[in-house]
Structure 1
Amino acid sequence: MSDKPEHIVIVGAGAAGLMAARELARAGRRVTILEARERCGGRIHPLPASQFGYAADGGAEFVHGEAPVTRGLVREANLSLQDIEGTQWSFDGTRLSREDRDDPHEAELHAALNALKDDIPVAEFLRRHFAGGEYARMRRSIERMVEGYDAADPERASTLALREEWMDGGHATQGRVVGGYGALIEFLAAECRRHGVAIRFGCVVSAIEEAGGAIAVRCAGGDVHGCDRVILTVPLPLLREIALPRGAREKAAAADNIGFGNVIKILLRFQRPWWRDRRGYLADMTFLLSDETIPVWWTQRPSEHPVLTGWFGGPRTAELSTLDPQALVDAGLDSLATVFGLSREDIARDVVASAATNWAHDPFARGAYSWATPQTREAQGILARADGPVLFSGEALYRGADMGTVEAALASGLETAGIILRG
């Protein structure tokens, strides 16, 4: 038996990859991370503070619910969380009003969800139990949440996953990392390097080969990395683009039963918070919902930064697939103009900085995050098996209620490292 420490190659320097790398390196394993981008973080994408006046997040932004792994890491990094406080508003096409979260049919909805034994898609559940006209508002609210919040397709999304999310109180608390998720990634990357992890950027992995007990990880540029085991932490769509050994390829096929959604995110920094100046009653607005092209907006409350963030999630983002970043910004301005009864030119004059990302256009993401179908739990079980030299990790494999979040990625990375260390 060799005295050399086991060498593990991790593909992807996102939250899952960095978390797994640190845990393995701490335990004495030799770890190399291969990252296609020229930065760590993956779908965590910090934007320059000089551009937006604070460390803005172009990708993941919120800490949802209890998030024990995230919160522990925040404390360890001497960072802090800021809870989101304020009011939610909606625009019905004619006027702005405080969002009324009470639905007269909520008790019926909970009863139907509780009675559900076998998983079915959300759209089918609504057709089966709430088809009448009196339920139209509730159906729209649920569909909007599934598409927007979960970036999911109601025709495929799991009702039992939705029940788990809702009946446990959902993400009752939401917050942000002060300094942005980028500060957490910087801490993790520094920790990895301190423990001897080699992080190599610009390495687009094209193939993983197994022969005679040896593993070779090939990069598109021609580099080859020999190792004992590989952890793949790439977003689900990229699994199809990496040639894998037969056993790993058969496991990876299960990913087709896990949903993967897209998000368009737009950040607009203004000279002043004109929405508060114009309508004083919006002074503590956090979220703003509408049926406009960019349907969701939020402020940085309780921080005072004059920034509005636009959000469009789910399958309907395909409608804007031809738009470049400036055209997305224009679409955002048009949506705000309609909601606030202003001209786009008036709003645009006040813009100091802007950024827009259609995550489907990012070649190393191909979308935003995963969501559950009725077949997802079984698929996750297949992908999580440690029965070969290639392991899978990431937010899509997390089997808790917070699938698709940074917490899910961190927890999955930790779990995958534990499987190797216990083995």
Structure 2
Amino acid sequence: MSDKPEHIIVVGAGAAGLMAAREVARAGRTVTILEARERCGGRIHSLPASEFGYPADGGAEFVHGEANVTRALLREAGLSLQEIEGTQWSFDGAKFSREDRHDPHEAELHSVLSALKDDLTLAEFLRRHFAGDKYARLRHSVERMVEGYDAADPARASTLALREEWMDGGRRVQARINGGYGALIEFLAAECRKDGAAIRFGCVVSGIEEKGGGVAVRCAGSDVHGCDRVILTVPLPLLRDIALPAAARAKAAAADDIGFGNVIKILLRFARPWWRERNQDLADMTFLLSDEAVPVWWTRYPDQRPVLTGWFGGPRTAELQSLDPQGLIDAGIESLAAIFGLSREDIARDLVAAAATNWAHDCFARGAYSWATPRTRAAQAMLARADGPVLLSGEALYRGRDMGTVEAALASGLETAEMILRG
């Protein structure tokens, strides 16, 4: 038996990959991280502080709920959180109103959800239990949350997986990391390197094969890396692009039973907070919802920086599929112009910096994050199995409450590392 430490290759330097790599490197394994991009983070993407006045998050931004793994890491890294405060507003096409999250049928919704035993899609759930005009507002509210917040398709999304989210009305604590998620990624990458892990950028993995009692990982450009085991942490759509050993390929096929949604995110920095000047009631605005092309906006409140972030999630992002980043920025400005009754020239005049990402256009992501269908839990159990030398990890495999989050990615990476270390 060889005295050489086991060599683990981690494919992907996002949150799951870095977390898994840190844990196995700490335990004395030889670790190589292969990352297709020229940076760490994956769907966590810090934008230049020189442009936005702070390290803005072009991808993941919020810490949702308890997020125990995330919070423990933040304490290790000496990073702090700023809880989201302020008021949520809506614009109905004519006037602004403080968002009233209470629906007159909310108690009935909770009662039906509590009694639900067998899973079904959200669309079918609403058809069965909340058809008719009197429930129109409730249906619109639920569908808007599922499409916008979860980036999910109501025709495929699991009602049971979403139940807890609705039962608390979406009122759980949300926070931002002071310094952004990029600061956490920098900490994890430094920890990996400190424990001897090598991070190689520009390595687009095209195939993994079992060879001579070990594993060979092939990259575009014909580079081949040998190892004992592989932790594969790429976003679900990319699994189809990687040639896998037969057993791993059979496992990966289960990914088709997990939803994967898209997000368009637009950041606009202005010379002054013109929305507060125009309407003093909006001084403590956090979120603003409308039915415009870019339907959700938020501020940095209680931070007073004059930055608005636009968000469009779910299958309807296909409506803006043809737009490049500048086209998305223009669509965002037009949406704000319609909401505030201004010309787009008035809004563009104060624009200092702008950035926009349609995550479906990112070739190493092809979307934003995963969501559950009625068949997802069985698929996750299949994907997370530790049989064979290729293990899968990432936010899509997380079986807890907050699937699709950075917490889910970190927790999955930790769980995969523990499986490796158990033997």
**AA in 1 matched with 2:37:** R
CA distance in 2, matches of 1:168, 1:24: 37
**Partner of residue 107, structure 1:** 107
**Partner of residue 248, structure 2:** 248
**Partner of residue 207, structure 2:** 207
**AA in 1 matched with 2:320:** L
CA deviation profile, 1:340-393 (whole Å, cap 9, x unmatched): 111111000010000000000000000000000000000000000001100000
**AA in 1 matched with 2:394:** G
Does structure 2 retain, via aligned residues, the 8 Å contact 1:359–1:368? Answer: yes
- Asked if 1:375 is matched to 2:370, the reply is no
What secondary structure is seen at the aligned counterpart in 1 of 2:411? helix
Does structure 2 retain, via aligned residues, the 8 Å contact 1:292–1:335? Answer: yes
The correspondence of residues 21-420 of structure 1 with structure 2, limited to 5 A, is 21-167=21-167, 170=170, 172-420=172-420
What secondary structure is seen at the aligned counterpart in 1 of 2:327? helix
Shift, 1:213, TM fit: 1.9
Does structure 1 retain, via aligned residues, the 8 Å contact 2:74–2:184? Answer: yes
Q: CA RMSD in A?
A: 0.8
CA distance in 1, matches of 2:273, 2:237: 39
**Partner of residue 8, structure 2:** 8
What secondary structure is seen at the aligned counterpart in 2 of 1:123? helix
**AA in 2 matched with 1:343:** S
What secondary structure is seen at the aligned counterpart in 2 of 1:199? strand
**AA in 1 matched with 2:112:** A
What secondary structure is seen at the aligned counterpart in 1 of 2:391? strand
CA deviation profile, 1:37-66 (whole Å, cap 9, x unmatched): 000000000000000001100000000000
CA distance in 1, matches of 2:170, 2:371: 15
CA distance in 2, matches of 1:70, 1:325: 31
**AA in 2 matched with 1:57:** D
**AA in 2 matched with 1:316:** R
Does structure 1 retain, via aligned residues, the 8 Å contact 2:41–2:185? Answer: yes
Shift, 1:166, TM fit: 2.7
CA deviation profile, 1:309-367 (whole Å, cap 9, x unmatched): 00000001011111000110000001001111111110000100000000000000000
Instruction: Specify whether residues 164 and 213 from structure 1 end up closer, same or farther in structure 2 by C-alpha distance, changes over 3 A only.
Output: farther
CA deviation profile, 1:169-220 (whole Å, cap 9, x unmatched): 6461000000000000000000000000000000000000113322000000
Does structure 1 retain, via aligned residues, the 8 Å contact 2:261–2:369? Answer: yes
- Asked if 1:20 is matched to 2:20, the reply is yes
CA distance in 1, matches of 2:192, 2:406: 18
**AA in 2 matched with 1:419:** M
CA distance in 1, matches of 2:184, 2:191: 11
**AA in 1 matched with 2:172:** A
What secondary structure is seen at the aligned counterpart in 2 of 1:16? helix
Does structure 2 retain, via aligned residues, the 8 Å contact 1:263–1:358? Answer: yes
**AA in 2 matched with 1:56:** A
What secondary structure is seen at the aligned counterpart in 1 of 2:243? coil
CA distance in 2, matches of 1:232, 1:73: 22
CA distance in 2, matches of 1:11, 1:304: 39
| Residue range with higher mean Cα deviation, 165-174 or 265-274 | 165-174
Q: Which runs of 5+ in 1 are unaligned?
A: none
| Residue range with higher mean Cα deviation, 41-50 or 171-180 | 171-180
What secondary structure is seen at the aligned counterpart in 1 of 2:260? strand
Shift, 1:168, TM fit: 5.5
CA distance in 2, matches of 1:62, 1:241: 30
CA distance in 2, matches of 1:211, 1:257: 30
Does structure 1 retain, via aligned residues, the 8 Å contact 2:264–2:357? Answer: yes
Q: Which runs of 5+ in 2 are unaligned?
A: none
Instruction: Specify whether residues 171 and 223 from structure 1 end up closer, same or farther in structure 2 by C-alpha distance, changes over 3 A only.
Output: farther
**AA in 1 matched with 2:63:** V
Q: How many residues align?
A: 423
TM-score by length of 2: 0.99
CA distance in 2, matches of 1:102, 1:142: 12
**AA in 2 matched with 1:77:** A
Does structure 1 retain, via aligned residues, the 8 Å contact 2:101–2:169? Answer: no
Does structure 2 retain, via aligned residues, the 8 Å contact 1:64–1:171? Answer: no
CA distance in 1, matches of 2:196, 2:189: 11
CA distance in 1, matches of 2:256, 2:160: 19
CA distance in 1, matches of 2:356, 2:281: 28
Does structure 2 retain, via aligned residues, the 8 Å contact 1:40–1:185? Answer: yes
What secondary structure is seen at the aligned counterpart in 1 of 2:370? strand
Runs in 1 of length 4+ with deviation above 3 angstroms? 168-171
What secondary structure is seen at the aligned counterpart in 2 of 1:196? coil
Shift, 1:165, TM fit: 2.4
What secondary structure is seen at the aligned counterpart in 2 of 1:269? strand
CA distance in 2, matches of 1:245, 1:165: 38
CA distance in 2, matches of 1:298, 1:242: 37
CA distance in 2, matches of 1:144, 1:419: 38
What secondary structure is seen at the aligned counterpart in 1 of 2:97? strand
CA distance in 1, matches of 2:71, 2:35: 25
Instruction: Specify whether residues 208 and 171 from structure 1 end up closer, same or farther in structure 2 by C-alpha distance, changes over 3 A only.
Output: farther
**AA in 1 matched with 2:48:** P
CA deviation profile, 1:236-255 (whole Å, cap 9, x unmatched): 00000000000000000000
| Residue range with higher mean Cα deviation, 379-388 or 171-180 | 171-180
What secondary structure is seen at the aligned counterpart in 2 of 1:206? strand
**AA in 2 matched with 1:381:** A
CA distance in 2, matches of 1:226, 1:122: 45
**AA in 2 matched with 1:153:** D
**AA in 1 matched with 2:235:** P
CA deviation profile, 1:16-43 (whole Å, cap 9, x unmatched): 0000000000000000000000000000
